[in-house]
Amino acid sequence: MRPKSRGRIRLTGPNPDDPVQIEANTLSHPDDLKAAIACAELCREIGNSAALRPFTKREVMPGNLRGAALEDFIRDATATYFHQTCTAKMGRDSMSVVDAQLKVYGIENLRIADGSIMPRVTTGNTMAPCIVIGERAGEILRTVHKLSAVEAYSDQRAALR
């Protein structure tokens, strides 16, 4: 739940429409692979337990793999839920991109309000924290622009038409 592997996002060109290159680097840190192996072994132990025998016929995956073969299986089977976060973290250290008002350091009139500002990966689904970030962004913008919630809602609806 707290991966040590770190990925990168890189620009591929100078234009806003140029795609970005995403290097997830999943399981690049040895501790992450060790944790994934421990999880696979625990799941196998539970699935093959006497208590579950009446409900199962046989182990389908990964099978009786050990060592490098189990590592290869885990590397090949690992997938993302596309909940990457923390690429523009909020904070005050040298790696931080966004301040507490969601403003990007060094760029005027630019704020970020999505999962990228999370300073650490959450241990659950990212939807709830993203909703909180969006709500907070709304509060900040209403305050800065001296809008009531009703005015902000009306402006938002007009923009969608």
Instruction: Look up 83 and say whether it is catalytic.
Output: yes
The tokens for 55 are 């409900």
Q: Which of 83, 127, 139, 153 is catalytic?
A: 83
The tokens for 120 are 């650490």
The CA distances from residue 86 to 39, 67, 75, 115, 117, in Å, are 24, 32, 23, 7, 5
* Three-state secondary structure readout of the chain: CCCCCCCEEEECCCCCCCCEEEECCCCCCHHHHHHHHHHHHHHHHHHCCHHHHHHCCCCCCCCCCCHHHHHHHHHHHCCCCCCCCCCCCECCCCCCCECCCCEECCCCCCECCCHHHCCCCCCCCCHHHHHHHHHHHHHHHHHHCCCCHHHHHHHHHHHHC
Q: Report, as residue numbers or ranges, the catalytic residues.
A: 83
